[in-house]
Structure 1
Amino acid sequence: MTNTTGAAGGATRWLRGAIAAICAVLLLAMMALTVADVLGRYLMNAPVPGATELTELMLAAVIFVGLPAASLDGDHVHVDVLTIRLRRLARRVLAGVVGLVSAGILGLVALRLWKIGDQIAGYNGITPTLKLPVAPVAYGVAVLAAVAAAITVLRVFERADAHV
């Protein structure tokens, strides 16, 4: 969705901005928590209780909140050492196939994360120190992976329409 004109382009820009803001807030919170934990640990011999588990949860959130943004922008890592030697049509077909396979893998990741969330919810999994429930995080990252899969599929068809 690099061409951001019209209503869809405005929605895409808004979504990117929202994702960037959420990630920025999460990263800032992680940084502040880490600084407070380190200062508390070494200056006052009193680390922040649960700092490690909060950092882990926020890190998962940053990664999976950013995943739909990477899918929107097509910013996933790719190596084109061999594909640059292919003809234009072959590159487009291969890009479509790779996009669909990537979307399928993201969909499988989403399904697996949802199952893991079900398992965690089944035994009421909580974090050790703060006793925060973990299942909602698993469900949240599953939904975000599914959103990234849907965006990836849409981008495949968008590129196909652009070349017709």
Structure 2
Amino acid sequence: MNRVVEGHGKPGARQYARLSLAVVCALLLVTIMMITVVDVIGRYILNAPLMGATELTELLLCAVIFLGLPAVCLDDAHIRVDILLSRVPPVLEPLRKIAVSLLSAIVLGLIAWRLWGHAGNLAGYAQSTNTLKIPVAPLAYLTSVAVAVSVVITVVNGITGGDAKTGEAGL
């Protein structure tokens, strides 16, 4: 999991951040798996399902998805469809990368902004899950912060022209 880039010696902040996010996401996925196993055994063998299993699974899955986004940005591993962009002349490639990164950062910034506003609404209404009464606003704030971190990473990658595969970006 921990990739040391050839010729760069020790892993840097980017690799540690990526590894930390991967470990957190892996632990959350294992937790989801354990909740599901306990729920299925309880439901079909003991006739006693785990109360709130669906709520916990939904909340944890949301956390996995949004905590994974900065890791994707750190690796510059977004899905790309380059039907038209592959025809860009090589001399314009650096400009294309900057433009795509900045456009992505703008879209992610809008998402982070709207998530923050939605989290404020959820907090104002004291929104919580139905069964376990877990407040939802903290998770919404976490998702907004994770997307905002992704914005910063995307901007840095775009400005520096950094390539996560070679570890040459500013983070």
Partner of 1:107: 109
CA distance 1:72–1:29, shift in 2 (3 Å): same
What amino acid does structure 2 have at the position aligned with 1:50? Answer: G
Distance in 2 of aligned mates of 1:4 and 1:147 = 27
Please state how far the C-alpha of 1:85 moved relative to its aligned partner. Answer: 2.0
Alignment match, 2:59: 57
For residues 8-52 of structure 1, the C-alpha deviation after alignment (integer angstroms, 9 at most, x for no partner) is: 951111111100100110000001111111111111111110000
Distance in 2 (CA, whole Å) between partners of 1:35 and 1:156 is: 43
Q: Give the aligned length.
A: 161
The one-letter code matched in structure 1 to 2:85 is: T
Letter in 1 for 2:88: L
Q: Distance in 2 between matches of 1:138 and 1:5?
A: 40
CA contact (8 A) 1:19 1:69 kept: yes
Runs of 4+ in structure 1 over 4 Å off: 2-9
Match of 2:161 in 1: 159
- CA–CA separation in structure 2 for the residues paired with 1:8 and 1:85: 37
Unaligned regions of 5+ residues in structure 1, if any? none
The 3 A distance-change label for structure 1 pair 7 and 137 is farther
Q: How large is the RMSD of aligned CA atoms in angstroms?
A: 2.2
Q: Please say which of residues 121-130 and 87-96 is displaced more in the overlay.
A: 87-96
Q: Secondary structure at the match of 2:161?
A: helix
Q: Which has the higher helix share?
A: 1
The Cα shift of 1:5 comes to 7.3
Percent identity of equivalent pairs: 46
Q: Which residue of 1 aligns with 2:24?
A: 22
Query: In the alignment, what sits opposite 2:90?
Result: 88
Note the residue ranges of structure 2 that are not aligned, 5 or more in a row: 163-167
**Separation in 1 of the partners of 2:81 and 2:161?**
19
Q: Distance in 2 between matches of 1:89 and 1:67?
A: 30
